[in-house]
């Protein structure tokens, strides 16, 4: 589907002002950057574009209490979630407070034993450690009872989070969450690690110390922001752009060990490589083992320990991949038994599923069925669930409509976690589908490929690819431009490489371009030399064995 063409006059004016090709300026206008200043801010993100941390509601109270704790030598417990965002947020605050001379102990719950969010397990750990302050990272907004228990035990609680409140927020020292309706913070898209970054900067200011060490941890901010699929616009775009530079040049010791174990050492680190290669390895700690191991990796100053933990995570990730495959096979079998004409929202449950992988499987299933999906891992009389949603459906809002059937839930529009009694899973599936049917149309369930521009094959040049790299980092909220070339032909017979990938050499207008279609090998017999067809693709540089060449990464073909 081609977007509505932007105003030609605006495109021409932008091209003249910025001295850029009209195609690039059309793409900028389509993304909402139709004025010279907004386009420059997009193309050249800078750290001085970041908002004042103190715009966060309650931040002054939070850093005042933390500063008193640092000066008095009181123990601060930093309690994170067990995903990449939680691990990196916990690491960033732990390292920052230690660097400021404070006493700090990180804590991350065990997924299977302690469950999601701040729970009594975290409160008990804080009491046992004799902590005076408990700071949450990536959790706590909806943990009313545990926060109350901690406060009653004489522990001052500071919540830092980015999940949508399901109701009133806890009564404590501070609740730092840009998604609180009453919070005036201008950018609501920050991941939890972004909130932790703001806390650390503000604390440095209050303590009167340099904030340079905080900026050196932007690799953690980029890693977690990408892994949490936070929109790469606004502040997140700035944080990730600079964080990728740190990843490329001077990453944290633990991140460097992770890069080496993943085979990325010496390669250009893009948002894609972070999301698809690096983040899953760190995530594996919380899914298969204990996420605190990830914090230990990212806080260690010992190179041998860093490489030991990185190798452990590599093995955990391999185990996680095997669990993914078996769970996806079974979930696909359950979907095959559904009537998808009447099922708009899917809830599947199974004893024996591993709670650590159902979120990943839900994401993969979503790509196939194009419907919101909640998978529940049943253990005894209770189930832990993870959901993913399509753009047209607010998952958190739908679960709010099912809240009387749930023990607890939390998350946001695109992803959420639930706890549900096994006896209520069937009722949840029924209600969830009813809500989906009321809020979605059949058209919402058809996957659409959004095309940015139609070009000739001869226009797909290295110069264009280099200009489009200024649109990076790509990801949620800032997709890689998809281009269409019509009437192309094959310059050579199609090949299948690997197990299922389609390799083509395209020709049109006297130009040729190599193309790769991941997982599209089954289309090879349908393509005949001499027969014209249309291709949708993303233009990229292919780096292989030290060689760099231009390549079209195929998104779709139309014969």
Tell me, what's the pLDDT at 411? Answer: 83
Model confidence at 266, pLDDT cuts 50, 70, 90, reads confident
pLDDT in tens, 371-395: 999 999 999 999 999 999 998 999 9
Percent of the residues in the chain that have a pLDDT greater than 70, as a whole number: 99
Residue 1 has pLDDT above 70, yes or no: no
Report the pLDDT averaged over residues 213-242. Answer: 96
**pTM of full prediction above 0.95:** no
Instruction: Spell out the residues 6+ positions from residue 456 whose beta carbon is closer than 8 angstroms to its own.
Output: 485, 508, 509, 511
Tell me, what's the pLDDT at 2? Answer: 65
Tell me, what's the pLDDT at 95? Answer: 98
Buried b (16+ CB within 10 A) or exposed e, 143-153: bbebbebbbee
Residue 548 has pLDDT above 90, yes or no: no
CATH architecture of 53-312: Alpha-Beta Complex (3.90)
pLDDT in tens, 144-155: 999 999 999 999
Report the pLDDT averaged over residues 45-53. Answer: 97
Q: Rounded distance, CA 427 to CA 511, Å?
A: 58
C-beta atoms surrounding 31 within 10 Å: 19
- The topology (CATH level 3) of 449-558 is OB fold (Dihydrolipoamide Acetyltransferase, E2P) (2.40.50)
Residue 116 has pLDDT above 80, yes or no: no
Instruction: Spell out the residues 6+ positions from residue 336 whose beta carbon is closer than 8 angstroms to its own.
Output: none
Tell me, what's the pLDDT at 547? Answer: 78
Start-to-end CA distance of the chain, whole Å, equals 16
**CATH: 2.60.40.10, 3.10.310.30, 3.40.30.10, 1.20.120.1810. Which one for 338-445?**
3.10.310.30
The mean of the pLDDT values for the chain is 94
Tell me, what's the pLDDT at 532? Answer: 94
Question: Domain limits of the chain?
Answer: 1-37, 53-312, 338-445, 449-558
Tell me, what's the pLDDT at 66? Answer: 98
pLDDT in tens, 350-360: 999 998 899 98
Quick one: 220 exposed, middle or buried, by C-beta within 10 A (0-12, 13-18, 19+)?
Answer: buried
pLDDT in tens, 280-330: 999 999 888 899 999 999 999 999 999 999 999 999 999 999 999 999 999
Q: Rounded distance, CA 225 to CA 84, Å?
A: 9
């Amino acid at each position: 589907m081609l977007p509505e063409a932007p105003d030609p006059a605006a495109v021409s004016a932008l091209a003249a002002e910025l001295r850029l090709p009209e195609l690039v300026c059309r793409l900028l206008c389509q993304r909402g950057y139709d004025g010279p200043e907004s386009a420059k801010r997009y193309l050249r993100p800078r750290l001085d574009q970041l908002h004042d941390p103190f715009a966060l509601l309650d931040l002054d109270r939070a850093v005042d209490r933390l500063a008193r704790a640092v000066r008095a030598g009181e123990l601060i417990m930093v309690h994170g979630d067990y995903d990449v965002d939680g691990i990196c947020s916990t690491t960033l605050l732990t390292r920052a407070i230690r660097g400021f001379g404070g006493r700090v102990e990180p804590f991350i719950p065990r997924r299977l034993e302690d469950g999601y969010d701040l729970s009594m397990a975290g409160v008990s750990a804080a009491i046992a450690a004799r902590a005076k302050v408990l700071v949450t990272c990536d959790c706590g907004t909806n943990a009313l009872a545990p926060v109350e228990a901690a406060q009653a035990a004489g522990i001052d609680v500071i919540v830092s989070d980015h999940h949508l409140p399901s109701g009133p927020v806890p009564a404590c020292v501070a609740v730092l969450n840009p998604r609180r309706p009453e919070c005036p913070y201008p950018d609501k898209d920050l991941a939890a690690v972004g909130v932790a970054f703001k806390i650390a900067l503000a604390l440095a200011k209050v303590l009167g110390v340099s904030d340079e060490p905080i900026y050196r941890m932007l690799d953690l901010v980029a890693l977690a922001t990408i892994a949490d699929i936070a929109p790469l616009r606004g502040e997140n775009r700035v944080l990730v752009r600079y964080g990728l530079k740190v990843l490329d040049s001077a990453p944290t010791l633990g991140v460097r060990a992770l890069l080496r174990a993943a085979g990325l050492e010496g390669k250009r680190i893009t948002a894609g490589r972070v999301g698809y290669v690096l983040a899953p390895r760190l995530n594996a700690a919380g899914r298969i083992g204990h996420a605190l191991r990830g914090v230990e990796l990212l806080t260690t100053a010992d190179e041998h320990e860093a490489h030991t933990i990185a190798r452990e995570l590599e093995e955990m990730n391999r185990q996680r991949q095997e669990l993914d495959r078996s769970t996806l096979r079974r979930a696909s079998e359950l979907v095959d038994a559904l009537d998808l004409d009447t099922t708009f929202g899917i809830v599947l449950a199974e004893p024996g599923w591993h709670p650590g992988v159902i979120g990943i499987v839900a994401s993969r299933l979503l790509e196939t069925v194009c419907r919101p999906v909640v998978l529940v891992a049943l253990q005894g009389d209770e189930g832990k669930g993870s959901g993913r949603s399509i753009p047209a459906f607010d998952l958190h809002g739908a679960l709010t409509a099912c809240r009387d059937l749930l023990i607890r839930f939390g998350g946001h529009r695109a992803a959420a976690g639930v706890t549900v009694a096994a006896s209520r899973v069937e009722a949840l599936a029924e209600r969830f589908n009813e809500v989906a049917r009321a809020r979605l149309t059949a058209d919402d369930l058809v996957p659409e490929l959004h095309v940015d521009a139609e070009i000739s094959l001869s226009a797909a040049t290295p110069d264009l690819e280099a200009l489009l790299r200024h649109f990076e980092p790509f990801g949620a909220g800032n997709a890689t431009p998809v281009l269409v070339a019509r009437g192309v032909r094959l310059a050579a017979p199609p090949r299948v490489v690997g197990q299922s990938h389609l390799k083509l050499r395209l020709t049109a207008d006297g130009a040729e371009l190599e193309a790769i279609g991941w997982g599209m090998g089954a289309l090879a017999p349908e393509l005949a030399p001499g027969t014209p067809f249309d291709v949708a693709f993303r233009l990229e540089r292919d780096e292989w064995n030290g060689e760099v060449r231009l390549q079209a990464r195929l998104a779709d073909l139309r014969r």
